[in-house]
Amino acid sequence: MIASTGRPTEADYLRSLGAREIIERRELVSAAKPLGQERWAGGIDTVGSTTLANVLSMTRYGGAVAACGLAGGMDLPATVAPFILRGVSLIGVDSVMCPLEPRREAWRRLASDLDAGKLAAMTSEIDLSGVIEVGRRIVEGGVRGRIVVKIG
């Protein structure tokens, strides 16, 4: 597994989650070539825009990429080359309109397949009063993992 980050200091943490290789975010943010060198069998993209275009262009023949985020933008500055010449599939991940049964299956799989210890280690809880401060830290890139906001 290859992980991408804008914070190279997080490399050891990403390796502890299973990454064998770490690449810097800047490798994926420039304009994508129609077809890049085949680098991975598939991917999960949480960024969108040029990052997603680069991931698609570097996906191997017959690979698939799941897109589940738009942090970098809603545009997709790519060509159809990966889809036509390599048979790459782009799969959108929908968490809003997904029917109940696939949701239940996803939650069942998360409960059985996910390392609960790693999840607990990357999750912290704050009160509603701490949201503004944590929001500032998130925007500055100073937060790792997930923050749960306890209301009430």
The model's pTM: 0.83
**Which tens digit of pLDDT belongs to each residue from 41-83?**
999 999 999 999 999 999 999 999 999 989 899 999 999 999 9
Strand-pairing partners, residue 42, are: 64
What does 129-152 look like in DSSP terms, one character per residue? GGHHHHHHHHHTT---SEEEEE--
Please, are residues 68 and 46 in contact by the beta-carbon 8 Å criterion? yes
Note the pLDDT of residue 27.
92
pLDDT of 141 higher than 90: no
**Which tens digit of pLDDT belongs to each residue from 15-41?**
999 999 999 999 999 999 999 999 999
- 100-116: average pLDDT: 94
Place of tokens 């914070």: 7
Instruction: Work out the number of other CB atoms within 10 angstroms of the CB of residue 46.
Output: 15
Note the pLDDT of residue 96.
87
φ, ψ (nearest 5 deg) of residue 43: -160, 165
Q: Please report how many Cα atoms fall inside a 13 Å half-sphere around the Cα of residue 86, on the Cβ side.
A: 26
Q: 7: which 2 tokens?
A: 């914070």
Please give the share of the chain, as a percent, with pLDDT higher than 90.
Answer: 88
